[in-house]
Structure 1
Amino acid sequence: MIVSALLTSVGINLGLCVLFFALYSVLRKQPCNLKVYAPRLVAEGRAGQRSHFNIEALLPSAGWVRRAWQPSEDELLNSCGLDGVVFNRIFIFSLRVFSVAAIIGIFVLLPVNYLGDHLRDIDFSDLPNKSLDLFTISNVKDSSNWLWVHFSAAYFITGVVCYLLYAEYKYISNKRISHFSSSKPQPHHFTILVRDIPLHGMSSLSNTVETFFMDYHPSDYLASTVVRRTSKLRGLITDTENLYRRITHLKSIPSSSQNQSHTGFLGLFRKNGDLMGHYAKKLEDLEQNVRLEQSDISAGREEVRAAFVCFRSRYGAAKALHIRQSTNPTEWVTEHAPEPHDVYWPFFSTSFTQRWISKSVVVAASVLLIVLFLLVVAFVQGLTYLEQLEALLPFLKNILKIAVVSQIVTGYLPSLLLHLVASLVPPIMKLFSAMQGYIAISEIEKSACNKMLLFTIWFLFFANVLTGSVTSQFQIFLDPKTIPERLAVAVPAQASFFIAYVVTSWTSLSWELNRTIAFIGDLISRRCSKTNDDEFQIPSIPYYSEIPRVLLFGLLGFTYFLLAPLILPFILVFFCIGYIIYRNQLLNVYQPKYDTGGRFWPIVHNTTIFSLVLMQIIAVGIFGLKKLPLASSLILPLPALTLLFNDYCRKRFLPIFHDFAAETLIKKDREDQNDPAMEEFFDKLVTAYRDPALMPIRHSTNSNDHNSPLLSKV
């Protein structure tokens, strides 16, 4: 790619960003769009309605930036939970790291790279037509002493990153402990999940669980709730809810319209009045089936060999969790209980055999997805080389000779296509994780996050590097000794592609801000539906897709810090834009669906360490290729030191993210001993883990209040 193609891509994306920001600042002021751009504020009753027309509502403004910037971290914690704070800290950490990296890269490494060409005279007047390779380390002469500048920069940035990583890990660990210590009693702090409960003759599972824990945990045991299969019941409830919504919609149609005939082909359509009676009768039948199914399940049928066991203290629950309950390790298996609203109930309807089959299917499907994505990557990378594209599609030869077209095709189109294809992957990964049998939505999303990281790192990054440069290097990892050298050749060759990819990501961030799909969906529903339904779903932030997306740019920044420092200011701009946009979305749009207590941070830490080590391994190969063996040898201790640092952090901080210490638990239990509200809490704890599908439902088909909740729990 030449400089002018990069400038074309920057111009296009900057223009789109400004356009989207201006459009957002106008659309968010319109009262009809509040449910799209501030659904959380609407649900909480904090969205102000304008009572009169104001010309300022039609003019772009930057007031939303100030409002997103102002809230403190404590306010963000109260509003979004510790997971929201951790997500915000990823941007803060990245801004700190890449501010330092950009200063070194632009003012130190970039001049060294550009002035290190074999040619003595450089024509600055023709700079737009120069290749971006002039700004990479490939332009530095072999055996040049200027390469020691890169060597020093590698050690310096490693020290800065490790220092900031340690400080951030310590800060978030302390935040997690203080958040727990200041929190009110939560059901999952007093509860564990017990699986593989052994069967004893004719005794029910409920009696078996109660007898066991009364015998071995008499002073701590409070109650238990055996899990039951409710998949069939959930299907009936879904049908009931859908039918009730249809009846509600028919009620909203004026009576004059209801009396009109709606006959059609073969009489398939009826009058609305006939439909109302038909639906009402069908709803009564479905409700009766729901009650019968609930009675059968509550009578002890469809029991699963799993139960939520509640204790009178946090320390009592921790003891039962970590002590093996039986001489047979495959029985009475204990694990953390999620928050009640975080439980993924369909998991319990899956048998061991079904879970095993599902895992096998997930593996096969993942392999198929990888193969398909590699084909897409090969096609996308072909767009960056006009010669290959002209050979593949000869009829485009004349069109591609046009300067603007060739710049757009090579500088903008490939990264845009990759963004679009990559956006299809997160829902698939979440589906794969759900099939694996996790007991909590948060666990499903953490698993999907790890899958997305593997997909992002190994295939979005490495597949582009290897496919675009040397396709025969798919065997790169078969001979570990050649890894640094081969990566040193392959990675710099794709610098221009990833620079364009980072620039294109600015537009994808503005797409997140404008919530384009949600806006179009709301617009269509308002135009097509005559109902004034105040019920709407508040979205939750998909950490499983957004965290890997952010970490990818950290990987690119570290990888190309030495190789192509021109990428660093573009990455810094990405983090600046992302910081403001995601703070705005967390405060106004997304509502937390769960709170893991900051357990996503170890994923961030490990990915950063991986990115740092990858940079160091490539540096070893680069110095070897540049015929500077001493620098290549002296850089070897750096990965070892980084991994030692990571091992220390794992031992120092990681246990805090798995379990709370006895000191913390006992101290918290003692604080609650004299609290009169604890008795009421324990009364609610007994039924906290009851399957929502077993709760009574009531649909009022005669009510004219269409804004009342669909389900009334009694």
Structure 2
Amino acid sequence: MDIPALLTSAGMNIWISVGMFSLYSILRKQPLNVKVYFGQRIAQGRTRNENICFERFAPSASWILKAWNATEEDIFACGGIDAVVFLRIVIFSIRIFAIATILCTFLVLPLNYFGEGIQGIEDSTAMDLLTIGNVQEGSKWLWAHCFTLYVISACACTLLYFEYENVARMRAEQVLRFPTRPSNFTVVVRGIPWSSIESYNESVGKFFSNYYASSYITHQIIYRFGAVQQLMVLMHYHCHASSYEDAEKMYKVMTTVPVMATIPDNQCCEPNTERCGLCRAKSDSFKKVGRGSELTNHNVDEELRGKECEAALVFFKSRFDALVVSQTIQSADPMLWVTEPAPEPLDVFWQNLCVPYNLLWIRKISVFIASIVFSVIFLLPTTFVQGLTKIQYLQSTFPFLRRVSDRSYINLITGYLPSLVLTVFLTIVPPLMMLFSTLEGRVSRSTRKRSACVKVLIFFIWNVYFSNILSGSWIERMGRLTVTSPKDLATLLAELIPRQASFFMTYVMTSGWSGLSFELLQPVPLVGNWLFKCVLMKDEDFVRPITFAFHTEVTRVLLFGLLGFTFCILAPLILPFLLVYFCFAFLVYRNQIMNVYYVKYQTDGSYWTLAHNATIFSLILTQVVAGILFGMKKSSTASTCTIPLIVCTALFNVFCKNRFLPLFKNRSAQDAIEMDRDDERSGKLQEIVENLPKAYNQFELCGDQMQLPTKEDDDKHSDKPKKSSSSESLEELEIVENLAETESEDKIVSIN
């Protein structure tokens, strides 16, 4: 790719980004788009704290100022610790690549340009003059590259250490900040052995009553998700029943469900005041069923017993007891009575709790094979993308391409189009990897999303980074690319990575710059909301609160970090493009976290360990490639000096893992015991324990995750007056007027 093609791609992406940012600053002020751009604030009830005037149809940058002025406490209040950690990853990238940009732009880049090492090479381009390939063999200037590599590696490790320490501290504070979490007292049990004489429900109670009699409270068996769905739909309609026959049917359904919370038998629903525990509808037709009901003991219906899964939630009297049980092997057979810490109630992925534990390894192997097959298939679009960037090398094989290369739009085809095509193809990767993580059997939504994040990152590193480098070089050499050993592969990478710098610059602009503008604009919810409200004239909302796509955004940030490290001394021109991306990402993601994304569950900052590992991998890969390239340039001393740097980076990684990683894997027994003692002295422990079974009501939580008939559907059959569209639009206008920002700085109100 030559310089005109790169400039064409830069112009296209700058035009798109500026246009999208301006359009967003107008659309966010319109009443119709309130729930698209302020869903998080509406969910938290923070929409009526401001009363500011504005010009509705004039672009403004006041949202940037608000995002910049927000504190870390504001981010935590809106997005939780995961959002804070994600922004710490972005801040780390800004700091390290600001240092790298200054060093490489003023020291390495001039040495590369004046190196005169590629004179006379036929297939060289103007972009190659700015890479390390232009440095002559045996040049003393390579010491500047080695020195820069040492400085960048040292700064990266130092920043990594302090960030790791800060995140570990925040994670420890998170435990103390929320001491009454139900998950601290709860354990997930899987692999319950089957018995022909008793149900899973009875087996769990007998096992934990026998071995943990002093700490065990009660348990809740898990039912198949499909059966719960059917029961929920049945409950929704029967809770509104008025006839005696319907009420009796509802009573039979309720008494068949073993509710584990202990409720006195004489406690009944008062007429029109109590709500059903399954669908929350008011009812006076049936009684609450306690653990002591006669139908929940040995007379449990066989049909209901067949709906039980070999998994349960077990509740304990203290945090320490739950911690010990979750980290202990319960049986001589490690496939039976498998325990692990329970997720938070809203974080539980109920469908996967029903997956038999002894089938998980088969699922994981199947997902691993499917991921490899998908990666191999994805080589086709990768090769096609590289073919677009190197049309001139394909003219001898495909003569009709000569007519295309003579056109005036060739710079658009070779510059902007390849990165756009690759970005479009990559949009299917995160949803597919999320599906793979679901099939693996993750029992919580947060671990499922983190697993998808790991898969997407590995896929991006292989298919975006290595595959583009190898396929592009294969096209240049027209099939003469051969690798017979790992040493040949390393040598080949050292030679080919600088030549692909121009393509990755366009990819950073297309996927990064333009990607941020689309992230800000939210085109899919925006268009869907317009169609629902204006075309279909629907009363219900198309836009519902959505959670932050960590598995997409974290991987993009880490992939760009990999590009920055590997190209910093090989092709430094990419660094300014990356720095611009990270600076805008800092502002855009802060705005989205505070206004758009709804927090439903947390991983307590576990994404930082993934970021740390990816950064260490990027550093070591950079050092290895640089050492090999120094050797190819016949600078044995500089090549040898990279060996201690690789060793020190690896030792630093081991130190960080020993120092901080245990804090991310296990909970502290000391903190658990201290919190138990504090709650016992204050008398809160008994109250917390009594509310545990209610927190993990599978029927109620599954009902929140299902799309049941809405309240509007029920109102169609009632005499309640409907809200007019005009009054609804007035409410939306009032919300916008409370949310919008003023154009003058002196009227900007703090988010607090």
Q: Same fold (TM over 0.5)?
A: yes
2:332 counterpart of 1:333 = no
Could you tell me how far apart the structure 2 residues matched to 1:429 and 1:182 are? 33
Partner of residue 621, structure 2: 614
Could you tell me how far apart the structure 2 residues matched to 1:568 and 1:71 are? 27
Could you tell me how far apart the structure 2 residues matched to 1:442 and 1:13 are? 34
Deviation at 1:11? Answer: 1.6
Deviation at 1:535? Answer: 7.7
2:381 counterpart of 1:376 = yes
8 Å Cα contact 2:118/2:134 also seen in 1: no
What do residues 5-52 of structure 1 show as CA deviations (whole Å, max 9, x unaligned)? 222221211111111110000000111111111112223332359999
2:206 counterpart of 1:211 = yes
Picking from 158, 164, 177, the partner of 1:163 is 158
Partner of residue 544, structure 2: 537
Partner of residue 79, structure 1: 78
Picking from 677, 697, 703, the partner of 1:670 is 677
Deviation at 1:112? Answer: 0.7
2:453 counterpart of 1:449 = yes
8 Å Cα contact 1:13/1:506 also seen in 2: yes
Q: Which stretch shows the higher mean deviation, 566-575 or 37-46?
A: 37-46
Partner of residue 182, structure 1: 177
Could you tell me how far apart the structure 2 residues matched to 1:694 and 1:500 are? 45
Partner of residue 463, structure 1: 467
8 Å Cα contact 2:630/2:639 also seen in 1: yes
Equivalence map 1:429-578=2 (5 Å): 429-470=433-474, 476=483, 479-504=485-510, 505-533=512-540, 536-578=543-585
2:696 counterpart of 1:689 = yes
Equivalence map 1:5-404=2 (5 Å): 5-47=5-47, 56-118=55-117, 131-199=126-194, 202-234=197-229, 237=232, 298=258, 299=300, 300-301=304-305, 302-352=307-357, 355=360, 358-388=363-393, 390=395, 394-395=399-400, 397-403=402-408
8 Å Cα contact 1:231/1:349 also seen in 2: no
What do residues 332-373 of structure 1 show as CA deviations (whole Å, max 9, x unaligned)? 211121111111111133335764554454334323321221
Could you tell me how far apart the structure 2 residues matched to 1:165 and 1:285 are? 67
Could you tell me how far apart the structure 1 residues matched to 2:353 and 2:702 are? 17
Deviation at 1:421? Answer: 0.8
Change (3 A) 1:312 1:406: same
8 Å Cα contact 2:546/2:598 also seen in 1: yes
SS at match of 1:538: coil
Letter matched to residue 79 of structure 2: C
Deviation at 1:640? Answer: 1.6
8 Å Cα contact 2:229/2:702 also seen in 1: no
8 Å Cα contact 2:529/2:541 also seen in 1: no
Letter matched to residue 490 of structure 1: L
Could you tell me how far apart the structure 2 residues matched to 1:120 and 1:536 are? 58
SS at match of 1:686: helix
Change (3 A) 1:214 1:627: same
Could you tell me how far apart the structure 1 residues matched to 2:119 and 2:558 are? 40
Higher helix share: 1
2:646 counterpart of 1:647 = no
Letter matched to residue 198 of structure 1: P
What do residues 201-243 of structure 1 show as CA deviations (whole Å, max 9, x unaligned)? 52333333223223322332222111122314425757998x9
Letter matched to residue 182 of structure 1: R
Could you tell me how far apart the structure 1 residues matched to 2:614 and 2:72 are? 24
Could you tell me how far apart the structure 2 residues matched to 1:683 and 1:334 are? 22
Could you tell me how far apart the structure 2 residues matched to 1:142 and 1:287 are? 89
Give the structure-2-normalised TM-score: 0.82
Q: Which stretch shows the higher mean deviation, 574-583 or 176-185?
A: 176-185
Letter matched to residue 112 of structure 1: L
8 Å Cα contact 2:137/2:633 also seen in 1: yes
Could you tell me how far apart the structure 2 residues matched to 1:428 and 1:313 are? 40
Could you tell me how far apart the structure 2 residues matched to 1:640 and 1:706 are? 70
Change (3 A) 1:599 1:372: same
8 Å Cα contact 2:190/2:357 also seen in 1: no
8 Å Cα contact 2:449/2:550 also seen in 1: yes
Letter matched to residue 22 of structure 2: A
Deviation at 1:637? Answer: 2.0
Change (3 A) 1:535 1:570: closer
Could you tell me how far apart the structure 2 residues matched to 1:90 and 1:76 are? 14
Identity %: 39
Q: Which stretch shows the higher mean deviation, 552-561 or 337-346?
A: 337-346
Letter matched to residue 143 of structure 2: W
Partner of residue 254, structure 1: none
Change (3 A) 1:285 1:549: farther
8 Å Cα contact 1:383/1:389 also seen in 2: no
Deviation at 1:141? Answer: 0.7
8 Å Cα contact 1:187/1:339 also seen in 2: yes
What do residues 65-105 of structure 1 show as CA deviations (whole Å, max 9, x unaligned)? 11112221122112211111111101111011101000011
What do residues 657-709 of structure 1 show as CA deviations (whole Å, max 9, x unaligned)? 011222222122222223344433222202322312698999745443778xx
8 Å Cα contact 1:623/1:629 also seen in 2: yes
Could you tell me how far apart the structure 1 residues matched to 2:58 and 2:88 are? 33
Could you tell me how far apart the structure 1 residues matched to 2:138 and 2:434 are? 49
Change (3 A) 1:638 1:470: farther
Could you tell me how far apart the structure 2 residues matched to 1:475 and 1:452 are? 28
Letter matched to residue 90 of structure 1: I
Q: Which stretch shows the higher mean deviation, 554-563 or 345-354?
A: 345-354
Letter matched to residue 407 of structure 1: N
Deviation at 1:399? Answer: 4.3
Letter matched to residue 398 of structure 1: R
Deviation at 1:179? Answer: 1.8
CA RMSD between the two structures: 3.1
Letter matched to residue 308 of structure 2: E
How many residues align? The count is 659
Change (3 A) 1:394 1:387: same
SS at match of 1:653: helix
Could you tell me how far apart the structure 1 residues matched to 2:473 and 2:393 are? 13
8 Å Cα contact 2:631/2:639 also seen in 1: yes
Q: Which runs of 5+ in 1 are unaligned?
A: 122-128, 245-279, 708-714
SS at match of 1:347: helix
Q: Which stretch shows the higher mean deviation, 301-310 or 420-429?
A: 301-310
Point out which structure has higher relative CO (alpha carbons under 8 A, 6+ apart): 2
Give the structure-1-normalised TM-score: 0.86
Deviation at 1:392? Answer: 6.4
Partner of residue 253, structure 1: none
SS at match of 1:178: helix
Change (3 A) 1:238 1:673: same
